Chains A and B, each alone.
Chain A
């Protein structure tokens, strides 16, 4: 297996646009750490291209952004990239972080069966608030950042050499820091703070880790 980070970044709706911009920060971090990486932005995040690359180059760490369901991870325009029926073999012994919905219910547990891989993802819908006034510059959206920067820390931590369990815990720690910020906003009577907290709590509770917790990238 090669020490390569693969990132899928479809960008075809409001949600995936934000995920794509924030995932780019992870690619930039990997660049600074001298990690070989392969980016699949926009339409490139399709099944044909992604599976061809995974088969040929055998990347050890895969970061999937986008939509999903209980048994599948999706790429551009909801095309299924990997599912419990198709493609799981390619993910043996790898680490996958799926910033997508519900894949932690079925896909994650199936992916790690009988191999040394690990899966971090969600058993609930991965959700986040956006400040529409900042939607053309997602990285300047402080509201969205409360949700998306902590989740970036999963892959950043793996790149930095932490184990899967450490990466999972560190990201949860960052979510707690976001919750503490929001709690202060609430104490200062900022409107909507509890609404932000509710959604962040959903992501926090819904984040799961399966498989080899000692996995190191």
Chain B
């Protein structure tokens, strides 16, 4: 349980770090959730709101694609 909690926290920190480097003039339009500044996105991730969970989910998929090599394979086409 504690390992899972650590993993979850680590993932959250990773998402926050990824969002933190986005230029401050960028906003993300997320489907029917709305359009958000990076600060709003980071706040959602910290609070694990439904938007925050969605952002974390996207990050998980992206990490899987990176680590499995799937993304590299696609980009190399």
Query: Using a CB-CB cutoff of 8 Å, which residues 146-177 of chain A contact chain B?
Result: 176
Let me know if B32 and A14 touch, CB within 8 A: no
Query: Quick check: is B18 within 8 A (CB to CB) of the other chain?
Result: yes
Q: How far is the CA of A132 from the CA of B25 in the complex (A)?
A: 5
The 0/1 profile, CB within 8 Å of B marked 1, for residues 55-69 of chain A is 000000000000111
Smallest Cβ-Cβ distance to A206: which chain B residue: B61
Q: Contacting B29 at CB < 8 Å: which of A14, A133, A202, A204?
A: A14
Let me know if A14 and B34 touch, CB within 8 A: yes
Query: Using a CB-CB cutoff of 8 Å, which residues 8-38 of chain B contact chain A?
Result: 18-19, 21-23, 25-35, 37
The 0/1 profile, CB within 8 Å of B marked 1, for residues 17-57 of chain A is 01000000000000000000000000000000000000000
Let me know if A195 and B29 touch, CB within 8 A: no
With A125-B54, A202-B61, A205-B61 known to touch, is A192 a contact of B26 (CB < 8 Å)? yes
Question: Which residues of chain A come closer than 8 Å to B75, judged between CB atoms?
Answer: 176, 179-180, 183
Let me know if B23 and A198 touch, CB within 8 A: no
Max chain A C-beta neighbours (<10 A), residue from B18, B31, B61: B31
Query: Quick check: is A105 within 8 A (CB to CB) of the other chain?
Result: no
Question: Which residues of chain A come closer than 8 Å to B65, judged between CB atoms?
Answer: 201, 205
Let me know if B25 and A69 touch, CB within 8 A: no
Question: Which residues of chain A come closer than 8 Å to B34, judged between CB atoms?
Answer: 13-15
Let me know if A194 and B58 touch, CB within 8 A: no
Let me know if B35 and A14 touch, CB within 8 A: yes
Smallest Cβ-Cβ distance to B65: which chain A residue: A201
Let me know if B35 and A130 touch, CB within 8 A: yes
With A67-B32, A125-B33, A199-B28 known to touch, is A191 a contact of B23 (CB < 8 Å)? yes
B-to-A contact residues, CB < 8 Å: 18-19, 21-23, 25-35, 37, 54, 58-59, 61-62, 65, 71, 74-75, 77
A-to-B contact residues, CB < 8 Å: 13-15, 18, 67-69, 74, 78, 100-102, 124-133, 135, 143, 176, 179-180, 183, 191-192, 194-195, 197-199, 201-202, 204-205
28 contacts between A and B (CB under 8 A): A13-B35, A15-B31, A67-B31, A68-B32, A69-B32, A101-B32, A126-B31, A127-B31, A129-B28, A129-B29, A132-B25, A132-B37, A143-B26, A176-B74, A176-B77, A183-B75, A191-B22, A191-B23, A192-B21, A192-B22, A195-B21, A195-B22, A197-B71, A198-B18, A201-B62, A201-B65, A202-B58, A202-B62
